[in-house]
Structure 1
Amino acid sequence: MNSTQAWVNYLSKVELPVLANTLRRINELADSTSSTVHQLADVILNDAQLTSQVLRLSNTVFYNQTRTQVGTVSRAITLIGFDAVKSMAISSLIVDTLLARSDRSHLLQCLARALHAAVQARCLLPKRNEQALEEVFIGALLMNIGELAFWSCDTEQADELELLLQGGEPAVAAQKKVLKTTFVEITRGLVDAWSLGPFIKDVVSAGQPNSKASSLVRHSVEMARLSEKGWRGAEMDRVLDALAGEVGESTATVRDQVRINAGEASKIANSLGIPQVAALLPDGREATKPQTSAAPPTDPALELQILRELSHSLTNKPDINEVCQLVINGIQKAVGMRRVALLMADRSGNKLIPRKVAGPGTDSWREAFVVARDGTGELGVLLPQKVCGIYQPARQAGTPGSDPWLCQVPALTGPLLANGRLVGMFYADNADINAVPDATQLISFSHFVQHAQLCITLLSSH
């Protein structure tokens, strides 16, 4: 293959025909009639993984600021909007399709950059109508689709280009040497071949952009690339000045905002189930990873003290919130577990959702840590049996939800029962510290959970 068109044809017809066709179908849907809502829902529902991803994203604050629980694709379209769901579907398709094909470091880095730029563009855009928000998000995500598609393929040219880049060859020169074209040219060809729309065509075109939104996308992509080397420097200052002019804010305000947006990009990456990409985002590792490398120590003296406080509180009219807070403190500080959650049944009674969380990296749990009471779903394996136990992850466990360690690391789980019926559970882990809780910790954890159980039993008997 020695021309742009040859690469476009190869990627479209040989390597990625399903992705190309699905993206084309989604992009050709207009949101002018209710029938297209059903058409979009049908495209998504045809793929179980895509359906799961869209529903997961629909329940993140990034898309769903009302925090109204979304359980169906049609409900997501109604509540959050056609364009937002279309945007989720495209981003999920790109991520799932490409990562299923390759785990090359260049692909992961390129995906991290694309997702970071997409979140930045969406968060920085001054005009906040839904269509414009999703247009800039997808524009930034797909601005380097040629590079993304190339690195997902197991070809001799990919191996050869990788070696040249590792040897320090300038990127564009290396691309021309190996591909006889550039990623930019391949991207422009794919935008046409896959019918990705006039806005993205403007974003990737050679001349000056036709709109401020297109210019914002270009600068967001450039800023995402530069941020991989830090937030300071002459080039970064120049891009931030340009962004400030486009959004009508001071450079200092934009500088602060893009740091916040980078953290938002990490949350989206985790919501998509790609912690390996989240770790490559600026500040992403710090946002999702505890800062210490050792599990906290156990403290038998503190355990005894907190158990006494719990016993005292149960002799009076117990306050469930006070008791559960004491239990969480005990599990964290005395048992020696970094992260703890109390989950209780939601209004439907079908799910256990976080009531209290504690520890680093647990902010995402408030919206994403949901366990079905019947043990189904991605987090169903965490559901405790009738006694407290140590959860051991399966060797091939997936990475569900927006937390990279749930289901991946050993954890302590304990049930809360009311009249023999499961109404809640305690969960505790040490995040990235892959230390298996020992028998002593399990016994101490059980003591604390039993006090919470006693409180619920007393309250249910009144």
Structure 2
Amino acid sequence: MTTLQDARRLGAQGFVARIRERDMPAFGRTVDSIREVADDEKASASALASIILQDAALTTKVLKLANSAYFNPSRAHISTVSRALVVLGFDAVANMALSLVLIDALLRGGVRERVVTEMARAFHAAVQARTLAALKADPNPEEVFISALLARVGEMAFWCFGDEAAQSLDSTLSTGVPAEVAEQNVLGYRLRQITLGLVKDWRLGGLLTSVIEQGERGGDREKSVALAHSLARQAEGGWEAPATRQVLDQISKHLDRPLDEILPLITDNAVAAAQAAVNYGAHEAARLIPLPRSGGAVTVQEDEDSSGPNPLLQLKILRDLSMLIAGKPNLNDVLTLALEGIFRGIGMDRALFAMLTPDRQHLVGKAGLGPGADALVRAFQFALDGSPGELVNTVVARQQSFVVANAFEAPVRLERLTRAGGVPPFVIAPIVVHGRTIGAFYADRIKADAVLSEEDATGVLHFVQQASMGFEHVAARGARA
């Protein structure tokens, strides 16, 4: 519980530290993971795909956004995170993931009305800012979008996690005291300082920092964000209100275009913003975005159940894998897509890829998906000691696959696998390239009373076979080079 006394004593930076360490540690870890990949010139897009795929709910939401009209106007159907990265690009998918994790964290409670109001303004401003940036020939309108969306992240976090301090500030604001006066009187600092602290702490981008520090005093990009936020706030008083018309005139001057020319775009954007909020899962916020009278209704699409086997998704991922293999794939892309097919398409609880060390003496886990997969990858390290009748040695030496429904009926010894955390029912199969084993895929179901049908096991083996073909393709291309 954050009391008003706590909030005043902590100050803005102390409050930032509390949000980072107590209230939103998962978001900070996600930001760090994505930034680490983004800042590494050697990292591939598959590294980002692996981060997203670790969270099934996040994967579903990213794919829903990737297939929305706003982010994918061509409506090319996207079934996998790997495909989303190809079609939309690394930055767009990374920003989707960050935004989704943030919004999910901020929809937990607090002063609910204030949180939702801020979120509605953020979505409205983000969509408007992206259009303004595009009309100014900005090279990266998506960066402007994300900066507008997160420009008041500290305000949203305060209303969500401020507890008693948030209630006190809410009461003061409800009397009509201007925000800058109320914040200073109640807290001793501005909420904008929390936003700036979080943006710097989470390394959310130089443009966002500049937006917060400079606003309209900055360049075209900062001004686009500032004007978009002004419009989002003023439009709540009506699209025909004098204050709204004044902001629209400022936007017209900023773009150096007649208001009559840009007004249809801007009013259409309000509807697009409401739909974007729905697609992000912020349904309450969508209803607060002021729509023009001709805007019509915004439909709410329910998320599809992504649990369990999905034959249609299996076919789509196998098709994507075949197309990838027909081109010039790299090992990471083949690996990521095959893991995604086993994990999401077959509906296995965990999926893992392991590779032989260069001296061919050990099989070592390299990548995994599903709950607890990271720990399983770390523990999946086996010496190939030639011990007869043991699972891992048999898979590698004899290039044999195993489908094991329970430990009692296993045709080989499972002690090493179970010590590492593996459990029946599972499938394990070798990756064979030009007659040599180079690694293996392992997938299991760990939920209570889990069963593995013959059809599911066959599906896993099919993905492993396709991955082997992809690896052979890569190896053949390397031999010719």
Give the TM-score category using the shorter length.
0.5 to 0.7
Q: Which residue of 2 aligns with 1:288?
A: 297
1-side partners of 2:292 and 2:242: how far apart?
A: 23
Task: Say if 2:89 is the partner of 1:81.
Answer: yes
Q: Specify the code of the residue in structure 1 equivalent to 2:196.
A: R
Q: Give the 3-state SS of the residue equivalent to 1:218 in structure 2.
A: helix
Q: Specify the code of the residue in structure 1 equivalent to 2:51.
A: V
- Percent identical: 34
2-side partners of 1:4 and 1:154: how far apart?
A: 12
Q: Which of 260, 266, 285 is matched with 1:277 structurally?
A: 285
Q: Is the 8 A contact 1:278 1:284 kept in 2?
A: no
| 1:216 shift after superposition | 0.5
| 1:87 shift after superposition | 2.1
1-side partners of 2:69 and 2:42: how far apart?
A: 26
| 1:349 shift after superposition | 8.6
Aligned CA RMSD, in angstroms, stands at 2.8
Structure 1 gap ranges (5+): 291-347, 352-373, 377-462
Task: Say if 2:188 is the partner of 1:180.
Answer: yes
| 1:156 shift after superposition | 0.9
Q: Give the 3-state SS of the residue equivalent to 2:43 in structure 1.
A: helix
Q: Which residue of 1 aligns with 2:150?
A: 142
1:338-388, CA deviations, whole angstroms, 9 ceiling, x for partnerless residues? Answer: xxxxxxxxxx9938xxxxxxxxxxxxxxxxxxxxxx9x9xxxxxxxxxxxx
1:56-91, CA deviations, whole angstroms, 9 ceiling, x for partnerless residues? Answer: 000011111221111111110001111221221122
Q: Which residue of 1 aligns with 2:232?
A: 224
Matches within 5 A, 1:394-405: none
Q: Specify the code of the residue in structure 2 equivalent to 1:52.
A: T
| 1:199 shift after superposition | 0.8
Q: Is the 8 A contact 2:111 2:167 kept in 1?
A: no
Matches within 5 A, 1:16-415: 16-27=24-35, 29-30=37-38, 33=41, 35-102=43-110, 104-126=112-134, 132-153=140-161, 155-206=163-214, 209-283=217-291, 287-288=296-297, 350=312
Q: Specify the code of the residue in structure 2 equivalent to 1:156.
A: E
1-side partners of 2:136 and 2:45: how far apart?
A: 22
Instruction: Mark the CA change 1:271 to 1:288 in structure 2 (over 3 Å): closer, same or farther.
Output: same
2-side partners of 1:73 and 1:209: how far apart?
A: 39
Instruction: Mark the CA change 1:65 to 1:208 in structure 2 (over 3 Å): closer, same or farther.
Output: closer
| 1:157 shift after superposition | 0.2
Q: Specify the code of the residue in structure 1 equivalent to 2:116.
A: L
| 1:207 shift after superposition | 6.8
Q: Is the 8 A contact 2:239 2:292 kept in 1?
A: no
1-side partners of 2:98 and 2:121: how far apart?
A: 16
2-side partners of 1:77 and 1:207: how far apart?
A: 31
Q: Larger deviation: 221-230 or 36-45?
A: 36-45
Q: Specify the code of the residue in structure 2 equivalent to 1:168.
A: G
Q: Specify the code of the residue in structure 2 equivalent to 1:287.
A: G
Q: Specify the code of the residue in structure 2 equivalent to 1:223.
A: L
1-side partners of 2:216 and 2:162: how far apart?
A: 35
Q: Specify the code of the residue in structure 1 equivalent to 2:34.
A: I
Q: Give the 3-state SS of the residue equivalent to 1:30 in structure 2.
A: helix
Q: Which residue of 1 aligns with 2:351?
A: none
Give the structure with higher Rg (CA).
2
Count of residues in correspondence between the two structures:
296
| 1:39 shift after superposition | 2.5
Q: Is the 8 A contact 1:81 1:130 kept in 2?
A: no
Q: Which residue of 1 aligns with 2:22?
A: 14
Q: Is the 8 A contact 1:118 1:136 kept in 2?
A: yes
Matches within 5 A, 1:376-455: none
Q: TM-score w.r.t. structure 1 length? A: 0.59
Q: Is the 8 A contact 1:28 1:195 kept in 2?
A: no
Instruction: Mark the CA change 1:208 to 1:260 in structure 2 (over 3 Å): closer, same or farther.
Output: closer
Q: Which residue of 1 aligns with 2:447?
A: none
Q: TM-score w.r.t. structure 2 length? A: 0.57
Q: Is the 8 A contact 2:111 2:159 kept in 1?
A: no
2-side partners of 1:231 and 1:284: how far apart?
A: 7
2-side partners of 1:350 and 1:74: how far apart?
A: 17
Q: Specify the code of the residue in structure 1 equivalent to 2:297.
A: T
Structure 2 gap ranges (5+): 1-6, 300-309, 314-344, 348-481
Q: Specify the code of the residue in structure 2 equivalent to 1:278.
A: A
Q: Give the 3-state SS of the residue equivalent to 1:100 in structure 2.
A: coil
Instruction: Mark the CA change 1:288 to 1:233 in structure 2 (over 3 Å): closer, same or farther.
Output: closer
